Homo-oligomer: A and B are copies of this chain.
């Protein structure tokens, strides 16, 4: 093992550019292989759910032997965590257009609608990230911290959470939220509400009595509504706002929520 590393270092110092070219190509190829593996894994999860994700299946899909996968990932769990990171990044991308909305209440509502839309459009991905193993869910924050060049994970690291707190602060500054309100608590509770709407839809589809949009709008109005441009708590027959529709348009489709569930068994 050590001799290999030594050889590489020797080439870098002694032979200059061509060797660097080699090393670069090497690492590029390795990176490409990692992507191929993750691509295959993501497709399996989207089609059949996380429980059906196995090293054998991934290997089949990329046309390598199962053993080869271990050259790029230490374990199945590491692949799962990578998928979570990827998926969470995808969720954050969804929020980008929302960030431009000037009014903080409307921004928060659009955020909530985009969040729910993502979960419903990518049920298996959402399940993997937020409804599976706590260690997977924790992985999204750790990697978010790494991306920010921080070594420790603390309260304000997460971009999505920060967006919420910022909007709530703006609302509070406008006097549209009581000065006594604790922003962190509010953000957490608001996130939980949106998560609950998605999670309940995914794991109890039969529970759904009303259209998703009405439920989401009712919740958003209860939290943020009425204080500005419509009546308190009034839930009309209207469809999702243009913002939500727009957010939905950016989504790739996952497998349907109920169809692919229940593979032979984990």
Contact = CB atoms under 8 A, between A and B. Distances in A.
Interface of A: 51, 130-135, 137-138, 141, 153, 155, 177-178, 180-182, 184-186, 188-189, 191-197, 199-200, 202-210, 214-215, 218-219, 222-223, 231-236, 258, 261-262, 265-266
Nearest to A202: B134
Contact of A204 (B130, B219, B261): B130
B258 A134 contact: yes
A231 B181 CA distance: 11
A219 B194 CA distance: 12
8 contacts: A51-B266, A134-B205, A153-B206, A155-B209, A178-B231, A185-B215, A191-B207, A192-B219
Given A203-B130, A235-B181, A192 B196 contact: yes
B193 A138 contact: no
A167 to B, nearest CB: 15
Contacts of A51: 266
A200 to B, nearest CB: 5
